[in-house]
Structure 1
Amino acid sequence: MPKKNGHGAGSDKLKRKIYEKELRELQVELCRLQDWIKVSGERVVIVLEGRDAAGKGGAIKALTERVSPRVFRVVALPAPSDRDKSQMYIQRYVERFPAGGEIVIFDRSWYNRAGVEYVMGFCTPEQHQRFLDICPVFEKFVTEGGLRLIKIWLEVGQEEQDRRFRARIEDPVRQWKLSPMDIESYSRWYDYSRARDLMFRHTDTEHAPWHIVHSDDKKRARLNVIAHILSQIPYKKVDRAKVKLPSRSSKRAYDDRSSIADRRYVAEKF
């Protein structure tokens, strides 16, 4: 993969042609990983967190667009219902953990409590502290039970986040991405920074470490996310039997074109 000078994207943006070539190669490896996951019965959870506009959605799309949704499941939970709030905090996330032969990608996760819920006052300081104390214990329990847990934080710079928010305001096809919560978070940059650092201090452990991906350059970030995930799982290429299409039988031949000739067709405008 092409290397970048320095730690932010700067002007050294990855060219689209190079990005598409590298992405194609990584997506081939993801398909091989998928085959191995199904054969081995492994269970994998990928947690993708980061600031608003850090590029989580684009990274997940690049990660999943060439694989089966039956193996790679994306979980993006809505705000908790009254029933959810009456449960153990982490319960609704555990319910969506993978069975054997599955990878579950959390587009935001139980770490909401360490980030948006804490910063925006949706949980009490006591609930926040209890989460920080218990989370490493919970993650040790699930990893010792055989589940692979990969935690990735997408870190976008202040200027780049500002540029992306303004682009969303101006572009009609991106405006849906800009929620009232995003607007509120924009003014609380440093509160989120403190919450992030506190979360890392408590939950960056040997059994479930955090890995940070700089995402000012979205293309580089997507490639680095996929490459990191592939590096964390000891998959092997699974041999597939070569598929050969059978001959079409002409027995009971049928003119299927004339049978639908008089049906309603979509007007061809393009």
Structure 2
Amino acid sequence: MTQRGGAADVLVLGGAGVDTIIQVPQLPLPYADSYMIDSGIRTRAGQTGDFVALGLAALGLRTHHLDLLGDDPEGDLVRSLHREHGIALTALPQPAGTRRAVNLVGPDGRRLSLYDTSRARPGDRFPPQTLRTLAGTSRHVHVTITQPCADALPVLAATGIPLSTDLHDWDGENPYHEPFAHAADVVFLSAAALTDPERTMRRIAERGRAEAVVATAGAEGAYLLADGELSHVPAAVPPAPVVDSNGAGDAFAAAFLYGRLGGEPPETCARYGAVAGAHACTVPASRAESIGRDELLKRATAPRP
């Protein structure tokens, strides 16, 4: 086990890995024997937990990331990413290897992700004492839905530390996501696979402990459920052309948590999230770059067009 860093504002649990980015002429990609990729095929560190950690650190929050990593070139890329950005990392050994995925990115910035599920084992667990120690020195824990985070939820709940999670494109029915949804104080998810976002959001709040539920809806903005009231959060205007939506939800979550830990009301937190998500859409998937605190606050307080 490798470990760096001490007390943190946010402990990010899981979601470390490597993506191979391929710019394709369109999505869905028609069948062909081969395609010429003039933009190149690039492999870089950064999956959902990495991007949340990057976003938090860029906003000035002390961030610690815990996950399983392989002793392989992909794991080295993840370790290097954290060193470069000053993010504390506790990397537990993963004999199956570091998580990896292939992202096909279309001209409009939409993506199709292909995840290699062989990089995990059914018996993988985070040591309970490691969880208690790291959570106990953190103000907040953000739990990704990657394995083995589900088994960590009871340990984390017993600590009493506030939790958040991102259910990504949950359809509202898959039972795997429910323990995450019901254990977290703040729940993020995409509205993409929901036929009735409000119904799903209210069910999360009624069955769990969520104080705020946010459903992001891309160019349509987001929906915020807080204090029993559902409101619409307008989408922020991207500061440059949209090139890739990869990491936009992670950026939204990081900025929302920045506001929440700073004592801001949910509506302001959601506005921060919208600005950060719009910024992320202008960053090519081959780069790991998050909005900084000064830029976030400037754009979030600027008059809306």
Q: Is this a same-fold pair by TM over 0.5?
A: no
Is the helix fraction higher in 1 or 2?
1
Q: TM-score, normalised by structure 2?
A: 0.30
Is the strand fraction higher in 1 or 2?
2
Q: TM-score, normalised by structure 1?
A: 0.33
Structure of larger gyration radius: 1
Q: Which has the higher contact order (CA 8 A, sep 6+)?
A: 1
